[in-house]
Structure 1
Amino acid sequence: MSDSSKILVVLTSHGKLGNTGKPTGWYLPELAHPYSVLTRQGFSLTLASPAGGPAPLDPSSVEASANDTVSQSFLAEHKSLWESTTPLESFLGRAAEFAAVFFPGGHGPMFDLASDPTSQALIQEFASNGKVVAAVCHGPAALVGVKGPKGESFLKGKKVTGFSNAEEREVGLEQVVPFLLEDKLVEAVGKGGKYEKAAEKWGEKVVVDGKLITGQNPASAKGVAEEIVKAVWGA
């Protein structure tokens, strides 16, 4: 039975930042702010990850959010959510139970969700069931390898955004990530689609194309959640 108040959130299981020796994972405000928006609107969130169990939280995102009261409150009150995620495979065949699937960013998704066949199958299922598919920052990496019903790119002809090349260069990781997300998104949407970004680096940018909702960077996380609400409730 469909439940229009349930959202599946998919976090990365990858905690190592390439060959740098540094940790990575998912990015705190990109879950904290959507959680705040969505739960206030009556949604319940179920957290999953490829491996299940603890999903690695990028410690740099905790430091960067030191003065962000929403993120710090979430960190203090909801640790059990990401310390006990459900294995992603257990949600295959269950898209009808949810209103949306949402992929927060952080660099982790670039290393696992971008090529995870279970994640790709899940996105296909949600899309074919007319559900909302949403992602923010590096979260859209999960979308780039997904195929549509005819074997074409799921993103072909669509409008989309995600972490820009300029932003990746500014954080100094353009040689560390397995690919540049902006480049992959441009390739995936093809000539009939469009990758969009904010006029300035780190500016808020949310792009809505039907039931596909994407945000460019951490500043866009709250806006993505607000668009999820609109898409589900038909506002």
Structure 2
Amino acid sequence: MATKNVLIVLSSHDLLGSTGRPTGWYLPEFAHPYYVLAPHVKLTIASPKGGHAPLDPGSVEAFKADPESVEFVQTKSALWENTEKLSTFLGRAKEFDAIFYPGGHGPMYDLATDPDSIALIREFWEAGKIVSTVCHGAAALTHATLSDGSYLVADTPVTGFANAEEDAIDFSQYMPFMLETELNKISGGKYEKAAEDWASHVVVAKEDRLLTGQNPGSARDLAVVILEKLNA
């Protein structure tokens, strides 16, 4: 079987609103999927600016007792220090089988409205590829429209970081928008979440090619589903 290729898109944004507090992509949302996917597929890492993609230091602290996250930080930094510029992948969806957006608060500020990301999601979807996001990575879906002008997630079940989870960490005040609220609006009320905050929840929708996970605890489960769909 030919090796499958997955394009992983990290945020280039490193500050939380006007607070001066560092942010970026969230450690376990890249680390956990990496260890699920890397033994089986080829991974290419991109970001809007290319080069260094900022790792949220708060996520390093929060997951300092998680062995995979610790190992990832200690041994895999080349993955996020040398990302390829996102724009260079325009017109190349045929080279890949899936695109995946880890979260962290960074995507709320750049990937939500990045024109190259929006164009890539359209290209990947219309080429029959898998489009997947976890947690705030779903910010990349909030302006993602298809060639007919409709939202990719229109009338489609979808998930991402819940408002109650944002409130629980007291970050709602810094967000440019509330992800759950926006996803629920553009999906026509189809936003889903777990019965309890922070529980894993993965949504498989729209031809089994739109795969979304709610929060950091969903990242590994989402990656398992991505791998299953790649091998289907």
TM-score by length of 2: 0.97
**SS in structure 2 at match of 1:113:** coil
Deviations 1:146-198 (A, max 9, x none): 1122101111011100000000001101110100000000011015xx11000
State whether residues 4 and 98 of structure 1, in contact with CA within 8 Å, keep that contact through their aligned partners in structure 2.
no
Specify the alignment match of 1:54 in structure 2.
52
Specify the alignment match of 1:171 in structure 2.
169
> Residue type matched to 1:25 in 2?
G
Please point out which of 67, 78, 84 is paired with 1:86: 84
Q: Which runs of 5+ in 2 are unaligned?
A: none
Verify: 1:208 aligned to 2:204, yes or no: yes
Counterparts of 2:148 and 2:82 in 1: how far apart (Å)?
36
> Residue type matched to 2:65 in 1?
N
Deviations 1:76-96 (A, max 9, x none): 111001000000000001111
Query: Following superposition of structure 1 onto structure 2, how do residues 21-40 of structure 1 map, counting pairs within 5 Å?
Result: 21-40=20-39
State the percentage of identical aligned residues: 53
State whether residues 4 and 232 of structure 1, in contact with CA within 8 Å, keep that contact through their aligned partners in structure 2.
no
Q: How many angstroms does 1:6 deviate by?
A: 1.0
Query: Following superposition of structure 1 onto structure 2, how do residues 41-190 of structure 1 map, counting pairs within 5 Å?
Result: 42-190=40-188
Deviations 1:120-151 (A, max 9, x none): 00000000011000000000000110112210
State whether residues 3 and 42 of structure 2, in contact with CA within 8 Å, keep that contact through their aligned partners in structure 1.
no
Specify the alignment match of 2:12 in structure 1.
13
Q: Which runs of 5+ in 1 are unaligned?
A: none
- The CA RMSD over aligned residues, in Å, is 0.9
Counterparts of 1:213 and 1:62 in 2: how far apart (Å)?
25
Counterparts of 2:26 and 2:112 in 1: how far apart (Å)?
16
State whether residues 53 and 84 of structure 1, in contact with CA within 8 Å, keep that contact through their aligned partners in structure 2.
yes
State whether residues 34 and 221 of structure 1, in contact with CA within 8 Å, keep that contact through their aligned partners in structure 2.
yes
Counterparts of 1:19 and 1:69 in 2: how far apart (Å)?
33
> Residue type matched to 1:205 in 2?
H
Counterparts of 1:129 and 1:70 in 2: how far apart (Å)?
33
> Residue type matched to 1:90 in 2?
T
**SS in structure 2 at match of 1:115:** coil
Counterparts of 1:103 and 1:18 in 2: how far apart (Å)?
20
**SS in structure 2 at match of 1:184:** helix
Counterparts of 1:99 and 1:224 in 2: how far apart (Å)?
16
> Residue type matched to 2:203 in 1?
V
State whether residues 4 and 99 of structure 1, in contact with CA within 8 Å, keep that contact through their aligned partners in structure 2.
no
Query: Aligned pairs, how many?
Result: 229
